[in-house]
């Protein structure tokens, strides 16, 4: 969740979910940070204990957890994914060209 909702620019292999409206807006940045913190909290407070503890939950507690996770799912579904640009293909360096017989003197 930290990577998905991060304010940092996307990196290769690490796309970001973006709140509609653009991060230049203070309101949008606030929503982005809120979603980041909320989603991390949901996983820390709900998903992780559910994975590591045995036993059933109280049905009302389970319902509240479901509603909270539903909000995270709504953001994931409706926000847009921002991806890093494709890397520029590597080209031969000048030293490689010269050692291969290419370059200005050939």
- 4: in domain: no
Share of the chain above pLDDT 70, in %: 84
Q: pLDDT tens for residues 45-70?
A: 887 777 777 777 788 988 998 999 99
Rounded CA-CA distance 66/81 in Å is 24
Domain that holds residue 59: 16-99
Domain count, the chain: 1
Rounded CA-CA distance 5/21 in Å is 15
- 5: in domain: no
* pTM (2 d.p.): 0.72
- 90: in domain: yes
């Amino acid at each position: 969740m930290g990577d998905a909702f991060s304010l940092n620019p996307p990196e290769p292999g690490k796309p970001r979910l973006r709140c509609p409206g653009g991060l230049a807006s203070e309101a949008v940045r606030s929503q982005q940070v809120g979603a980041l913190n909320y989603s991390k909290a949901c996983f820390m407070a709900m998903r992780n204990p559910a994975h590591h503890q045995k036993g059933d939950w109280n049905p009302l507690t389970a319902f509240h957890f479901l509603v909270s996770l539903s909000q995270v799912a709504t953001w994931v579904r409706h926000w847009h994914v921002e991806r890093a640009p494709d890397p520029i293909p590597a080209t031969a360096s000048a030293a490689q060209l010269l050692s291969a017989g290419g370059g200005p003197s050939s």
